[in-house]
Amino acid sequence: MQKRWLAMLLVGLIVGALTAPGLAQAPIKIGVIEPLSGPVAASGNYIRMGAEIARDWINARGGVGGRKVELVIEDNKSDPKEAASAAEKLIVRDKVPAIMGAWGSSMTLAAMPKLEEYGVPMVVETSSAASITKRGNPWIFRISPPSEMEALGLEQYVDKLGVKQADFLAVNTDWGRGSVTAFGDMLKKKGAAVGAAEFMEQAATDMNAQITKIKSTNGDTLFLTTAVEQITLVLKQGQEQRLTRKVITTGGSSSPSQLIKQAGAAAEGTYHIVFFMPWFPEAMPDAKLARAFVDEWAKRGHPFEGLTEGFRGHDGIATIAEAIKVAGKDEPKAIQSALWKVSLTGVNGPIKFEKDGPAGKESGQSKPSIFIVQIKDGKVALPDFMAKK
C-alpha cells in the first residue's frame, strides 16, 4: 500500500513539475515570410500586424491545445531569392512546422521548392498567380483568390461598369502578368475588346512612357495591377497627362483609403477590387468578426488604410492554428493533412480548401469573398450598382 502511495505521489510530482509556471509546454511556432522592407514593405507590415492580432486572440483563448502560439517572422525584402532563403531558415534553423507567406507571387513561387524539399506546408495569404496552385505542390494551401477567380468575381459587373475596350498596366511579376492574362480572357469572353498591355518593374517610379502608349489607344478602361505605392504614382502621372479612363485596380492591394491620402483628386472615381471592406464591416460574411478586427486594429493604433491588407495576416494565422488544432499536434505532415479538413470563417469569409493542380500533387485552394468599391467624393463607397436601394 505504501509503495503504491509513493508511486502515485511521484507521478503527481512529475506532472506538477511539467505544468508548473516556467516549465509549461513549449509554444507552437508558426513561420511568417513577408516583405517588411523593399518596394512593397507597407503591405507586408500590414499583414504582420494582422498576424499578430490573430496570435494574441488565439493565445487569449488559451492557445492551441493549451500551448501558446509564437510567430517567427522573416523579411523577404520584396525579393524572390530572399523569400527562398527565409523559408529555408524558418524550416532548418527555427524548426517551424508551418509557414504563412509570402505576399508577392514571385516570392511565393521562389519559396515553394523549399517547402517540397523539406515537407512543410505554407498557407498563401496574398499571391494571385495561377501557377502557385497549378504547378503541383501538395504543401501549398491558398486562401487568396488566383487572378482567374478574381476575374470571374468581376465578370458580373463588367456590363454595369460599361467596359467596352480595356488596356492593362501591370507590375512585371508573376502576379502582374497573370492578372493581365486572366482579366483579358474574361473580358474577351464578355465581348469587350482588349487593347494595350504595358508593364513596369516593381521598383519603378516613372510610368509616363507606359501611360503615353495607353493614352494613344481607344480604350475606355484601364486595369491596373500593382501595390498601392505604385498605384499612387500611376494615378498622379495619369492625371498630369490628362488620361481619361475608368480605372479598376486588381489583386486587393490598392488600399483605397491610403490612395485617397496619397493620390488625392487623382484617385477620384477609381474602382478597386478588395477582399475586405473595413468601411462596411456589417456587409462582410461575419459582421461581428469583421467589426472586432477593425476595432482591435484601431485600438493598436494601426493606420486604417492598412486593414485591406492586414486581414490577410489574421486569416492566414487563424487557418494554420485551426489545422494544428484539428491535427492534434504541430508536426508538418499532420498539419498538411489537417488543412484539407479545415473549415472556418475568417475576416474575408469562409475558408475551406478544394484540390487544384495535377492529380496526386494537388495544392489546396479556398474560394474567397470578392468585393468592389469606388472612391467617390474623396471617400470609399459602394458603387451605385452595388449599393442597396
Render pLDDT for 194-232 as a digit per residue (tens, 0 to 9): 999 999 999 999 999 999 999 999 899 999 999 999 999
Residues 135 and 166 in one domain: no
pLDDT score recorded for residue 385:
84
Residues 169 and 266 in one domain: yes
Check if the beta carbon of residue 150 is closer than 8 Å to that of residue 105: no
Give mean pLDDT, residues 35-62.
Answer: 97
Give mean pLDDT, residues 82-89.
Answer: 98
Structural domain contains residue 327: yes
163 or 19, greater pLDDT:
163
Give one word for 78, left, alpha or beta, with left for phi > 0 and alpha for psi -120 to 50: left
Per the structure, the complete domain to which residue 268 belongs is given by 149-274
Structural domain contains residue 377: no
Residues 96 and 67 in one domain: yes
Residues 163 and 256 in one domain: yes
Residues 243 and 316 in one domain: no
Give mean pLDDT, residues 343-364.
Answer: 98
Structural domain contains residue 23: no
For 24-70, where are the alpha helices, taking DSSP H only? Answer: 41-60
Residues 313 and 253 in one domain: no
pLDDT score recorded for residue 277:
97
The enclosing domain of 87 has a CATH number of 3.40.50.2300
Structural domain contains residue 185: yes
Q: 274, 300, 329: which is the final residue of a domain?
A: 274
For the chain, where are the alpha helices, taking DSSP H only? Answer: 2-19, 41-60, 80-88, 105-118, 131-134, 147-155, 158-161, 174-189, 208-215, 228-240, 256-263, 287-299, 307-327, 332-339
Instruction: Count the domains in the chain.
Output: 2
DSSP for 193-252, please give it: EEEEEEEE-TT----HHHHHHHHTS--SEEEEES-HHHHHHHHHHHHHTT---EEEE-TT
Cell of 5: 502511495
Residues 158, 357: Cα–Cα separation, whole Å: 28
pLDDT score recorded for residue 278:
98
Residues 247, 269: Cα–Cα separation, whole Å: 8
Structural domain contains residue 386: no
Residues 255 and 232 in one domain: yes
Per-residue pLDDT tens digits for 254-292: 999 999 999 999 999 999 999 999 999 999 999 999 999
Residues 157 and 254 in one domain: yes
Residues 139 and 171 in one domain: no
> Edge to edge, what strands does the sheet with 28-34 contain?
69-75, 28-34, 99-101, 122-124, 140-142, 363-365, 354-356
3-state secondary structure of 17: helix
Is a pLDDT exceeding 80 seen at residue 306?
Answer: yes
Structural domain contains residue 9: no
The 10 Å Cβ neighbour count of residue 322 is 20
Residues 155 and 270 in one domain: yes
State the DSSP code for 286: S
pLDDT band at 16 (very low <50, low <70, confident <90, very high): very low
Is a pLDDT exceeding 90 seen at residue 50?
Answer: yes
Structural domain contains residue 22: no
Tell me the average pLDDT of the chain: 93
Percent of the chain with pLDDT over 70: 93
pLDDT score recorded for residue 24:
63
Q: 274, 297, 331: which is the final residue of a domain?
A: 274
Residues 109 and 193 in one domain: no
pLDDT band at 253 (very low <50, low <70, confident <90, very high): confident
pLDDT score recorded for residue 386:
79
Q: 227, 254, 274: which is the final residue of a domain?
A: 274
Is a pLDDT exceeding 80 seen at residue 316?
Answer: yes
Residues 120 and 159 in one domain: no
Structural domain contains residue 320: yes
Percent of the chain with pLDDT over 90: 91
pLDDT score recorded for residue 66:
97
Give residue 257's identity as a one-letter amino acid code: S
Per-residue pLDDT tens digits for 124-168: 999 999 999 999 999 999 999 999 999 999 999 999 999 999 999
Give mean pLDDT, residues 335-356.
Answer: 98
